[in-house]
Chains A and B, each alone.
Chain A
Amino acid sequence: MNHPMGDLVIETSGLRKVYRSGGRRIVAVDGLDLRVPPGGVHGFLGPNGSGKTSTIKMLLGLVRPTKGQMSLFGLQVRDHLPEVINRVGAVVEEPRFVPTFSGRKNLSLLARSIGLPRSAVDSALNQVGLRDRAKDDYRGYSLGMKQRLAIAAALLKGPDLLILDEPTNGLDPAGIQSIREMIRDLGESGVTVLLSSHILAEVQQVCHSVSIVGEGRLLASGNVEDLLGEKVSRTRVGVSDPQGARHFLEAAGYAVTREPDHLVVEGHEHPEQITRLLADKGVYVQELTAIRPTLESFFLELTRPGKDEPAKSGETP
């Protein structure tokens, strides 16, 4: 995951955003260093209020950073926004369109503002399956249809970078699946997708890499597999003598948790270490299951309140 500086699609350095509200200073982003390589789907995760949307808005020129640098396609956003924005499609927060205009009218106005042909609107509407309802007023759309229209708007430019903030909000299961497949296809076709989502299972299914932020700072970044591989593995162990097995395992330095019908063992490198140790002590294992860490468990552990951990990275320093 090492990338030369100019090779990154998104790069921020020391990015900071402080909002002032009612005499209070609210630090939304606090020295964020974000790197997104070209191609593939990159998850952008963090709890509510962690600075994800502020970061996205700064990248799109909607919000002015208080401090720090950011570049898209190797060009500084501050100096080259009009150039780079034509290569970016985005859905920020919830869908935002004129309620009394039809879906097509909303898209047409956006398309015409940058000289895109009518066919671009038709193509985008087709891509999200909204063509049949394109003439209806936006205010009559369901939440899922609004979300699809927002994605269609993001696709209008045929972007090289697609920034999607909670794109499956309000979609039914079929809609979620079709959007997920579309995102995956886009990522595989060479488009870089930055996907901000709270649905971590979805992120794990779709994303090649992730960046996790908390309190405006980067907590971890890298390939999903690399990040999860870093986790200490846990193994579910079933034995006839749990008390004895626990004693031997703890004596060997492993952390053991007693569950009603099994033990959970942490701190080992390979499960066979457990079987060998217990067999040597005359305790025979009936069940041995590696508990695979999920992105959700990793995320929750990383963003747990009070957790103050330096940024982990799947990248080689």
Chain B
Amino acid sequence: MRLLAVELNRFRSRRAIALLALAAVLVAAVLVGATAWQTRPLSKADHTDATAQAALEGQRAEIQQQVRACRADPKSYLGPSATAEKCADALIPGPDAYFPRDPLTLRSALSASGLGLPLALIVIGLMVIAGSTFMGADWSSGSLTNQLIFEPRRPRLWLAKAAAVVIGCGLITLVALGGFWLGVGAIAQARDITVSSTEVSHVVWHVLRGVALSMGAGLGAFALTAVFRHTVATLALLFIYSVGGELAVNLLPFEGAGRWSVGNNTFGWLATHHRYFDATITCTPGERCTSMQVMTHLEAGTFLGILLLIAVMVSLAWFRRSDV
């Protein structure tokens, strides 16, 4: 515990890491503002414009023709329970289709078009840099030599540093993501928008998964830097793996290779439900298959967890034996 306290102190005292933490919080604050702006309540003018556009659209000949055809045979248009009276409502767009923006919901903020997922990715990226620079600075300054003269049990030192990275990255991410969602929740409350318990549950689990991924990403970057001894080398390797890996996955000559994409697995872990297009799955006409695939949290967590485990094991073994 003494060594862990020292490493936590070292982690929080590093200026680069303090700047990264500040950046994470600032990005979260900016995205709260962006979410508030993008979902701001509609003005009277917005309503008037949308109503006018809907009326104009409803008068178009093609739409009117479709409405007439629907009234003649509503069941083929709208299903077995349809009646002719429903055709106009179903086929002529209402004013809401022409609103310039959607109202705020937690679900939309957490969707692919929302800002919740991009924030999580940005914060995780920052924590990758934090984990890497924490170890990289020890190598580049040479201070690791002094540390080992005081604590020569290398696995113990490695574990203390790793624990500091995990705790530090987790806390920073919790503050950034938690702050973002509290901000979004506060905006929703101020606008009298009802938030369902399901939405809250999805957000809470998303934040927890984001924190876990951030801890793992920071730890992985730290572990790799313990081997490469250079922050830039680690970040370059991760970049090459991310970009090259995506390309390789798409070029692999077997079906379902999208399962092994880092991007799909990352989104699969962070998103509430992640569906992705797998170009390596080709469906012939008449065959019961689809290129749209689902990545579950378990699948994504297993994939990312195994990558992390490999990095940790290699790093620990290497650090234990290498010359300093």
Contacts and interface: CB of A to CB of B under 8 A. Distances in A.
Interface stretch (B6-14, B35-43, B175-183, B293-301): B6-14
A98 B141 contact: yes
B60 interface: no
Nearest to B10: A109
A101 B324 contact: no
A130 B3 CA distance: 26
A113 B152 contact: no
A110 B147 contact: yes
B9 A109 contact: yes
Interface in B144-173: 144-153
Contacts of A109: 6, 9-10
Nearest to A58: B323
A81 B157 CA distance: 14
B92 interface: no
A63 B324 CA distance: 6
Contacts of A100: 14-15
Contacts of B151: 113-114
B137 interface: yes
A133 interface: no
B171 to A, nearest CB: 20
A57 B149 CA distance: 10
Nearest to A163: B149
A62 interface: yes
Interface residues of A, number: 32
Interface stretch (A44-52, A82-90, A298-306): A82-90
Contacts of A82: 152-153
Interface residues of B, number: 27
B33 interface: no
Interface in A53-68: 57, 60-64
B244 interface: no
A3 interface: no
Interface in B276-324: 321, 323-324
Contacts of B145: 62, 92-93, 96
Contacts of B152: 60-61, 81-82, 85
B10 A61 contact: no
B147 A63 contact: no
Given A98-B137, A101-B13, A60 B143 contact: no
A92 B2 CA distance: 25
A216 to B, nearest CB: 16
Contact of A96 (B6, B10, B142): B142
Given A96-B143, A100-B14, A62 B323 contact: yes
Contacts of A19: 323
A99 B141 contact: yes
B140 to A, nearest CB: 9
A105 B12 CA distance: 13
A197 interface: no
A112 B143 CA distance: 15
Given A97-B142, A109-B6, 13 more contacts: A62-B145, A62-B149, A85-B152, A98-B10, A98-B137, A98-B141, A100-B14, A100-B15, A101-B13, A112-B6, A112-B9, A113-B6, A157-B150
22 contacts: A57-B324, A60-B148, A60-B149, A60-B152, A62-B149, A64-B321, A64-B323, A85-B152, A88-B149, A90-B149, A96-B145, A96-B146, A97-B142, A97-B143, A98-B143, A109-B9, A112-B2, A112-B5, A113-B6, A113-B150, A153-B146, A157-B150
Interface of A: 19, 57, 60-64, 81-82, 85, 88-90, 92-94, 96-101, 105-106, 109-110, 112-115, 153, 157
The 8 closest A-B pairs by CB, nearest first: A96-B142, A63-B323, A62-B324, A61-B152, A113-B6, A81-B152, A85-B152, A98-B143
